[in-house]
Every structure is written in C-alpha cells, then in structure tokens.
Structure 1
Amino acid sequence: MIRRAISLVVIVWLLGFAAFAVTLPRPLGPMKTDAIIVPTGGPGRIETGLERLEAGDARRMLITGVNRDVKPSELAAEYNRPVAVFDCCVSLGFDASDTRSNALEVSRWLVRRKYKSIRLVTADWHMRRARYELERVLPADVRIYDDGVRSTPSLATLWKEYNKYVLRRLGAVLGL
C-alpha cells in the first residue's frame, strides 16, 4: 500500500514536471500596463523590459534585485540606451536578493504608486514561481501579465526550477 502511494506521488510529480517543461510562458507582445517589472538574474530580461518601455507599453519600469553598486548610467551604457530613459522611467530596486524578496520589493513599489497592472518580464522557466510570489503579496486588484523571455534551459535547470516552484507552493500551504 505504501509503495503504491509513493509510486503515485512520483508519477504525479513527473507528469507535473513534463507539463511544466512543455508549457513555458511565451512573450506577451504589445500590451499596455501601468508598469513593467524585471527581476535581475537572466539574459534578455532587461533588454525586453526596455524594448517594451520604449514601445510605450508602460509608463515606468522597475528592475528589482539590482546590486547596490550599479548606477543607472552604467545600465544605460550596458544596454546602449540614453541615460534620460533611466532618469525618467526606470527605477532600480536594491532590496531584493531572491524571488521572494523581489516580490516584496515590487509590492512596496507598486502600492506607493497605486499601479493596478504590471507586465512581469522574466525567463520563461522562472515565470511561474516569480508570478506565484507576486500573487502572494500584491493587492488582489493588481493584474499580472506574463511576458516570458524565451530561453533554452537545460533539463537540469527546468528540474531545479520545477522543484523550487512545487516546494514553495507546498511550503505556503503549510504556512512556511
């Protein structure tokens, strides 16, 4: 009986992983929101956020999880953008160090500005966990739109992220 239960859990876990791996979120395309949110940590995220900002899809952008030593002028140079774009429209968040603290930093930033819709720009494989953490801390009336940055994650990256996501959801159910 116990072996069957364990086997069932393993089968469900593996089927969940398969579904997770083959249904990665896609790029959103043009759509207006109040803000663009970009957690640091992967290629293509900041570039995509800046492209959407410059296309007029949002008024402001927050890059969360930025190293305290980074200056807007350095990002402008790195991403070949005028410093004026960063001065007017991009906020840098220095208080986050992981996905959960990114969500807390984003929540404080959004509530101060009374924004009600965001475009979340992160790697396709990271989107589900990033969104889940945001949903846990944002006011219920804030709408989140996924803008997955396409990547080619390894099987190991997908497996690790899937397990983080599932374990985080289980931890939340248990009050952790």
Structure 2
Amino acid sequence: MIRRLMAFVLLAWLGGFVWFAGVLPQPNLAAKGDAVVVPTGSGGRISRGLDLLRSGAVERMLVTGVDASVKEKEFEAEYRVEPQLMECCITLGYIAVDTRGNALETADWVATHKHGSLVLVTADWHMRRAALELAAQLPPGIVIVRDAVRSQASLWTFFLEYNKFLVAYVVAPFR
C-alpha cells in the first residue's frame, strides 16, 4: 500500500514537472494595464516593461528587487531611459530579495498608487510562481495580466522552480 502511494506521488510529481517545463506561459503582445511590474532577474524583462510603458499600454512601472548598489542614473544609462520618463513613471524597488518579497513590495506600491490592474512581466519559467505570490498579496479585484518573456532556462532551473512553485501553491492558502 505504501509503495503504491509513493509511486502515485512520484508519477503525479513527474507528470506535473513535464507539464510545468513543457507548457510555458507565453508573451502577451496585447498586454495592457494601469502599471507594469517587473521583478529583476533574467534578461529581457526590464526592456519588455519599458516597451509597454513607452507604447502607452501602461502608465507606470515598478522594477522590484533592484540591488541596493544600483542608482537611478545608472538604470537610466543602462536602459536608455529618458530622465523625464524616469522621474514621472518608473519606481525602482530596493526592498525585495526574492519572489515573495517582490509580491510584498508590489502590493505596497499598488496600495500607494491605487492601481486596479497590473501587467506582470517575468521569465516564462518564473511566471506561474510570481503570479501566484503576487495574487496572494494583492487585495481582491486587482487584475494581473501575465506577459512572459521567453528564456533559455536549463533543466536544473525548471527543476528548482517547479519545486518552489509546488511549495508556494501549498502554502498560499495559509497566508
């Protein structure tokens, strides 16, 4: 009986892993919202967030999880951001150090700015957990539009992220 249960759990985990790694969230070319939230991490995220801001699909941008050593002028130079755009519309968040921290930092920022909808821009492999953590921290009624950035993640990255996602999924109702 115990062997069958263990085999079932292993097969369920394996099937979930195949789904997780094989059916990735996709870019959303029609993404629109009040603001865009971009957790720092793998390449392409900040550029995609800036594209949404510059195109008028969103009005404001939060980059969450920025290293404390990064200065606004360095960010402007690195991403070729116009000073007036930086001043009016971009917030660099320095508090978060992980995905849950990104969600908490975002929830505080949303409460301050009274946004009703967010575009979440993150890597395809990170999207499910980032959206789950964010939804757990935001008040009811805030719309989260997912816009995944394609990546070239390793099997090890998928393995780690899948297990983190499972833990977050199990723990989410208790937060």
TM-score, normalising length from structure 1?
0.95
1:140 pairs with 2:143: no
Aligned residue in 1 for 2:25:
25
1:115 pairs with 2:115: yes
Q: Which runs of 5+ in 2 are unaligned?
A: none
Aligned residue in 1 for 2:81:
81
**Aligned pairs for 1:47-58 within 5 A:** 47-58=47-58
Aligned residue in 1 for 2:106:
106
Range 67-76 or range 5-14, more displaced:
67-76
Aligned residue in 2 for 1:96:
96
Aligned residue in 1 for 2:67:
67
How far apart in 1 are the matches of 2:64 and 2:29? 21
Q: Deviations over 1:94-126 (max 9, x none)?
A: 111100011000001001111110000000000
**Is the contact between residue 72 and residue 83 of structure 1 (CA under 8 Å) also seen in structure 2?**
no
How far apart in 1 are the matches of 2:72 and 2:28? 26
Q: CA deviation at 1:42?
A: 1.3
Aligned residue in 2 for 1:171:
171
Q: CA deviation at 1:172?
A: 3.4
Aligned residue in 2 for 1:13:
13
How far apart in 2 are the matches of 1:74 and 1:84? 15
Aligned residue in 1 for 2:37:
37
Q: Deviations over 1:4-32 (max 9, x none)?
A: 00000000000001111111111111332
**Is the contact between residue 31 and residue 147 of structure 2 (CA under 8 Å) also seen in structure 1?**
no
Moved over 6 A (4+): none
Q: CA deviation at 1:169?
A: 1.6
Q: Deviations over 1:16-56 (max 9, x none)?
A: 01111111111111332000000011111101100111011
**Is the contact between residue 37 and residue 62 of structure 1 (CA under 8 Å) also seen in structure 2?**
yes
SS of the counterpart of 1:30?
Answer: coil
SS of the counterpart of 1:135?
Answer: helix
Q: CA deviation at 1:83?
A: 2.2
Q: CA deviation at 1:171?
A: 2.9
Q: CA deviation at 1:86?
A: 1.1
**Is the contact between residue 37 and residue 106 of structure 1 (CA under 8 Å) also seen in structure 2?**
yes
TM-score, normalising length from structure 2?
0.96
**Is the contact between residue 30 and residue 52 of structure 1 (CA under 8 Å) also seen in structure 2?**
no
Q: CA deviation at 1:84?
A: 2.1
How far apart in 1 are the matches of 2:158 and 2:69? 31
Range 23-32 or range 87-96, more displaced:
23-32
